[in-house]
Structure 1
Amino acid sequence: MALPGAAFAQGKAPANLLPPESVPAAATPPALQPAPTVQPITPDVQRWSIADARALLQVVGGIGAEGLDPADYKPAELEAAIAGGHGEALDQVASRTFAWLVEDLRDGRTPMDARRQWFVVDPDADRYRTADVMAQALSSRTVAQTLASLHPEHPDYAALRAELANTQDAAKRKLIRANMDRWRWLAKDLGTQYLITNVPEYQLRLTVNDKIISTYKTIVGKPGRTATPQLAETVEGVIFNPTWTVPQSIVKGEGLGAKVLGNPGWAKAAGYKATRDPKSGFVTVVQQPGANNSLGLMKLDMPNPHAIFLHDTPSRNLFNAENRALSHGCIRTERAQELAITLAILGNLANTPETRKAAADEAVAISTSGKYTRVPIQKSMPVYITYFTMGRDIEGNLRTFSDIYGRDAPVLASFDKPRQENRARRTSEEAVEIVDDLQTI
């Protein structure tokens, strides 16, 4: 396939797909580059000058601006080590303090057991190894700047930080701190183009070069076992006119297989085809492409062990509801065909005005063909399924969102407990596989 295009209802390509070629870059600290010129004692303990240790102490004293607690980093012990002068004690204490700051600023302070249904594996611990970051800070004499370069780059983090500096309300401060930490659970740099959905906001954003290209209302999982988990996956393809293989929990458990086999007229009208294995009697039911298909007219192919994906829905009236936690876990997306066409354009390697036009025309033709078609996405398109209860809405205003799954409480409680050392990078929580998204509402 070439590339796609537009407000699907009119058969046109979506307007203003791409932001201006030149996007002013915000001033950021120097990029982290492993450049160790100071010989470490061990990978975890390096040699510290008094000046660098004092700079570190100053960072600890001001770390409250980042939503962290200075007491977690034992400033009195660092101050005492500085007073004792050069030597093993200073090297040990300063290295430990620096490492703790790196871990919390890079990975987040919240331990995994407080991150409910959080299955994102943050790559930053491998990208910015603690020993390398420390070596760079000491060799370049830039302790404060190097630590600051670990902050999340998304502008919503900066908005929360600014709000924290301007409120004294204790409960609000705790909520801000929790949501600042949630940004640290993700990669520092989310990429040049990506989809991000904040589940409690019921909104999906398509972002290119830090500019929101378009937004879409969403329908997410109901509270309980079908609550939508938090993931970071990659769109590998766009499926136009998808089929839906009905899970056995519905085929057998709810009697759909027998109904389809026994009522061929009804089955044909509903788009169901059933096959029975002559030996085992096993019945398979597949809903064919069409307007009544439970996945609608589009599905994003984003393989993951939870079977979570973004898709269309024939029940589009539900996007007008205020509470849209209604699905079996997958994310139903407003204007899904427009989104699919847009992703096919952005996913093309040869992205010029000519190829975008050709792709737009072809994608519109495919989407209206009624035939199952998978269009591969060639350029990286990450999808972040997140859970923020405070952040900027699609209008850019900072606000709170309802904690629909009750996931705030363990995060808030973790800030009242001592900092946990040697935290796990992966959750041990069970992955709840979402086996269907049947339109039952």
Structure 2
Amino acid sequence: MARTAALGMSAIPLGMVAMGLPASPAWAQAAGTDAAQPAPAATPAPAKPARRPIGDPIGDITRSGPAPAPSASATPAPVAAPGTVPPLPAAPPSVAPVGMAASAPVTPVEVPITEPVMAWTLDDARALLSTIEFIGKEGLLPADYKPAALRQAIAVGEGPALDELASRLCGWLIEDLRDGRTPVPARVQWFAIDPDRDAMPTDQIMAETLASHDFAGLPLRLAPTHPDYVALKEKLAQTPRANAAQIALIRTNMDRWRWLPQDLGKAYMFSNVPEFQVRLTVHNMTKGTWWNWTSATVVGKPGKTATPQLAETVKAVVFNPTWTVPQSIVVGEGLGAKVMGNPRWAAANGYKGTRSADGTITVVQQPGPNNALGMMKIDMPNPHAIYFHDTPAKEFFKAEVRAFSHGCVRTEKAVELGMLISMLGAGVKTEDARAMHQSGVYTKVPLTKTFPVYITYFTIAAPIDQTTGQFGPLAKFADIYGRDKPVIDSFAAPRQLKTTQRASDEAVIQLDNPL
């Protein structure tokens, strides 16, 4: 299957180039939507300061542990965002409506899972044993599935004892291939809920495999479909057994893919926190091609403000958002008193203040290039109050390690992202998206085609080249939050029995100021 697709470049009128937006192309009309195709400007952009957008190429991995936290003294000074419309990238292929992202976090109830017991022939048990013996290719541990005990049961022959043991071991194997081996408590701040357990129940998979006798095909049937998983599997096969550290890290990242839906969808947003990048991906499942648009990001600082891992749904795009200033600033820093006491200063700086009957002052920053949310915000309701947004502090994107925020994901090319999603998800025409942005007026665009959005954490991944949109070679990214060790330690410990817990039960941290 092809891992990448060439990005077509269409000729566009020079007048549209000068405004930073292209004319409406044929692909959008053929898809039966009003979406229009963005394309790159014909004039080369000015040279930018060098910045490494990807991690270290994988060789023998010896570095471990979190990267040093960004130094306060090294924090770049915020600068005002330009008020111009940025040029858009080559247009994504049109897509049909996509499914919803995984459900929002719920309070997990830890109930042990009971494995179904089914009838086994000796041939099926031997086929299961063979699959177990080679399961190391998938980054799992054959010893977890008791091959010696199964071999002994096969020697005894068919009967209730073989049925019970083979069913239990097959159930464990299905669970780990589908959902991941790592116990949920070791998945720190991973609140994304994987729906595969519901879509592919263990008893159904086991019954169908017994009927087809295709135990060799079980790993492929349950494997994540993303190209990164395939690349990690290939890298695992190439890694010498003596390089235990690299093997452990590859296993860790292969398992993380199992914590997500097997298929992420036809169109989705995907942000890998350690990579400091967000992408908008369109997957043509028929042709086996991938289209990726990317932007650099700034993520949460390590500690209490670390960006959590989520699977949510984009509901709307907001151009020229307002920002309700947190009370820690309104009261704690005296902004409320200043706004109410000096209306002229407040208006000049884009603030509006109101005082309620109980004396509480509310301050809202009005739309504009200096708004804390910049010129665009992605509306993705979630209990963590985490979202993607623009920022006037563009200098932060020049840093190599960009963990500066209070949890939200600041996006360098946020306006482009908002325009692309409004075109793909709401059928907005290019000129209308441009007009919304340039109006300076708060404008919310509800989506008619929803997009899953995944905020993930991979320390080995294939970066997307920001020029070509193609998958690059696997690279190592700094473990900025120290989240590799709990997973690696869980693989070194005996396998734990699965429960019905689906996501982290850590407390949801809602910061007063998540920007």
Do they superpose with TM above 0.5? yes
The reply on whether 1:60 has 2:132 as its aligned counterpart is yes
**C-alpha distance in structure 2 between counterparts of 1:402 and 1:263, whole Å:** 47
Q: Structure 1 residue 106: deviation in Å?
A: 0.6
Q: Cα deviations across residues 352-396 of structure 1 (Å, max 9, x unaligned)?
A: xxx6xx611111101110110110111121110000011111231
Cα distance 1:43–1:160, how it changes in 2: closer, same or farther (>3 A)? closer
Match of 1:32? none
Match of 1:272? 351
CA contact (8 A) 1:307 1:435 kept: no
Structure 2: 5+ residue stretches without partners: 1-32, 42-82, 96-113, 284-288, 466-471
Q: Structure 1 residue 90: deviation in Å?
A: 1.1
Q: Cα deviations across residues 134-189 of structure 1 (Å, max 9, x unaligned)?
A: 01001122122134210111110011110011112110110000000000000101
Q: 2:239 aligns with which of 144, 147, 167?
A: 167
Match of 2:301? 222
Q: Structure 1 residue 16: deviation in Å?
A: 2.7
Q: Structure 1 residue 49: deviation in Å?
A: 1.1
Q: Cα deviations across residues 105-153 of structure 1 (Å, max 9, x unaligned)?
A: 1111111111111101110111110000001001122122134210111
Q: Structure 1 residue 5: deviation in Å?
A: 6.0
> Superposition pairs for residues 291-330 of structure 1, below 5 Å?
291-330=369-408
**Amino acid of the structure 2 residue aligned with 1:338:** E
Match of 2:70? none
Q: 1:190 aligns with which of 246, 264, 276?
A: 264
> Superposition pairs for residues 287-436 of structure 1, below 5 Å?
287-348=365-426, 359-395=429-465, 396-423=472-499, 424-436=501-513
Q: 1:212 aligns with which of 279, 287, 291?
A: 291
Relative to the length of structure 2, the TM-score reads 0.76
**C-alpha distance in structure 1 between counterparts of 2:177 and 2:164, whole Å:** 20
- Structure 1 counterpart SS, 2:448: coil
**C-alpha distance in structure 2 between counterparts of 1:260 and 1:410, whole Å:** 47
Cα distance 1:291–1:11, how it changes in 2: closer, same or farther (>3 A)? closer
**C-alpha distance in structure 2 between counterparts of 1:12 and 1:252, whole Å:** 36
Q: Structure 1 residue 267: deviation in Å?
A: 1.7
- Structure 2 counterpart SS, 1:234: strand
CA contact (8 A) 1:4 1:363 kept: no
Structure 1: 5+ residue stretches without partners: 22-41, 349-354
Relative to the length of structure 1, the TM-score reads 0.89
Cα distance 1:184–1:402, how it changes in 2: closer, same or farther (>3 A)? same
- Structure 2 counterpart SS, 1:379: strand
CA contact (8 A) 2:86 2:416 kept: no
- Structure 2 counterpart SS, 1:235: strand
> Superposition pairs for residues 113-262 of structure 1, below 5 Å?
113-168=185-240, 169-209=243-283, 211-262=290-341
**Amino acid of the structure 2 residue aligned with 1:70:** P
Q: Structure 1 residue 437: deviation in Å?
A: 4.2
**Amino acid of the structure 1 residue aligned with 2:398:** N
**C-alpha distance in structure 1 between counterparts of 2:296 and 2:506, whole Å:** 29
**C-alpha distance in structure 2 between counterparts of 1:389 and 1:83, whole Å:** 43
The reply on whether 1:88 has 2:160 as its aligned counterpart is yes
**Amino acid of the structure 2 residue aligned with 1:197:** S
Q: Structure 1 residue 12: deviation in Å?
A: 8.2
Q: Cα deviations across residues 54-83 of structure 1 (Å, max 9, x unaligned)?
A: 110011000111111100000011111111
**C-alpha distance in structure 2 between counterparts of 1:175 and 1:95, whole Å:** 30
Q: Cα deviations across residues 268-308 of structure 1 (Å, max 9, x unaligned)?
A: 2221111012x310110100000110000000000000000
**Amino acid of the structure 2 residue aligned with 1:275:** T
CA contact (8 A) 2:387 2:409 kept: yes
**C-alpha distance in structure 2 between counterparts of 1:10 and 1:138, whole Å:** 61
Q: Give aligned-pair identity as a percent.
A: 55
Q: Structure 1 residue 14: deviation in Å?
A: 3.0
Cα distance 1:150–1:360, how it changes in 2: closer, same or farther (>3 A)? same
Match of 1:24? none
CA contact (8 A) 1:261 1:274 kept: yes
Higher deviation after alignment, 9-18 or 300-309: 9-18
Cα distance 1:10–1:285, how it changes in 2: closer, same or farther (>3 A)? closer
The reply on whether 1:100 has 2:172 as its aligned counterpart is yes
**Amino acid of the structure 2 residue aligned with 1:347:** G
RMSD: 2.0
Q: Structure 1 residue 43: deviation in Å?
A: 7.2
**C-alpha distance in structure 2 between counterparts of 1:265 and 1:322, whole Å:** 40
Q: Structure 1 residue 198: deviation in Å?
A: 0.5
**Amino acid of the structure 2 residue aligned with 1:331:** V
Cα distance 1:221–1:12, how it changes in 2: closer, same or farther (>3 A)? closer
**C-alpha distance in structure 2 between counterparts of 1:402 and 1:383, whole Å:** 23
Q: Structure 1 residue 89: deviation in Å?
A: 1.0
Q: Cα deviations across residues 21-55 of structure 1 (Å, max 9, x unaligned)?
A: 9xxxxxxxxxxxxxxxxxxxx97000111111111
Match of 1:109? 181
**Amino acid of the structure 2 residue aligned with 1:236:** K
Match of 1:29? none
Match of 1:30? none
**C-alpha distance in structure 2 between counterparts of 1:135 and 1:102, whole Å:** 12
**Amino acid of the structure 2 residue aligned with 1:302:** M
